[in-house]
Structure 1
Amino acid sequence: MTALSVCLVLAGSHLVIPRQAVAASHFDGTWNLIFVTQRGACDPTYNFTVDVLNGNVSHPNILTFRGHVAPSGAVHASVRVGQKYASGSGRLSVMSGQGVWSGSSGGSRCTGAWTAQRN
């Protein structure tokens, strides 16, 4: 067979292989988050719930909340609501997690820590 024929056969066989659906993440589910401000003039604490589906983190009522959990449990997320913005990173285990965040509220810069518990 010529090289072109081999390429066409391989390409054709690739087309008939069905693509697998995105596998569920070990971290999928509902998580309660607590953010504690350690420096800055932001609110002392923030509490809310997020959903993890296929490793993607979202909030049902905050469209500007974006995040992702890697298979290792490493998590990165950001949120913007009005004049408030925050981004954070950390790690989740099967039932809990923790990390750090930084952001701003109006003109104030803030930093802190967060914890998570799976529902």
Structure 2
Amino acid sequence: MLKSSIAALVLCAALPASLQPAAAEGRSFNGTWSVQLVTESGLCDSRYSVALAITDGDVRVASAGEGGATVSGRIGPDGNVGLTVRRGSASGAASGRLQANSGAGTWSVSALCSGRWTAQRRTARVAQAD
């Protein structure tokens, strides 16, 4: 049970976001993004993938089947990433930077595990949640 909760958090921990308000500024990042996570230390599985949707700076998981995690944060106008992900009592964080069609950064889930993430834009349109 703990391992599946950690896996759901890690899948969502790469969600790009920033603490700065961004309405029109985040539009350059609109679309569906494929995010790959690699664990570098801790108890998590070695690799995870997740599809994310960005709309006007807001970030959400593109598929409703990603374990019920909640995400807070936004994309900054310069592409800076900084977010918090929660699922149950566990929480995770991610930071880094997005560019026009790619991005990279680091993530951690409490003291349990940490690693790096990379992202590639798949479409400029935002996918609807299932």
TM-score computed with the length of structure 1 as normaliser: 0.70
Residue deviations 1:52-75 (CA, integer Å, cap 9, x gap): 111111114245123311010001
1 CA distance for matches of 2:46 and 2:69? 23
1 CA distance for matches of 2:112 and 2:59? 24
| Equivalent residue in structure 1 for 2:76, among 67, 70, 73 | 70
Aligned to 2:41: 39
Structure 1, unmatched stretches of 5+, are 1-21
Residues 84 and 63 of structure 1: CA distance in aligned 2, closer, same or farther (over 3 Å): closer
RCO greater where, 1 or 2, for CA within 8 Å and sep 6 or more? 2
After superposition, the CA RMSD in angstroms is 1.9
Identical pairs, percent: 40
User: 1:78 deviation in Å?
Assistant: 2.6
2 CA distance for matches of 1:84 and 1:48? 18
TM-score computed with the length of structure 2 as normaliser: 0.65
2 CA distance for matches of 1:99 and 1:32? 14
| Equivalent residue in structure 2 for 1:30, among 29, 32, 35 | 32
Aligned to 2:94: 88
CA contact (8 A) 2:69 2:87 kept: no
* Corresponding letter in the other structure for 2:48: Y
Residue deviations 1:27-48 (CA, integer Å, cap 9, x gap): 0111000111000011111111
- Larger C-alpha radius of gyration, 1 or 2? 1
Aligned to 1:111: 114
1 CA distance for matches of 2:100 and 2:79? 9
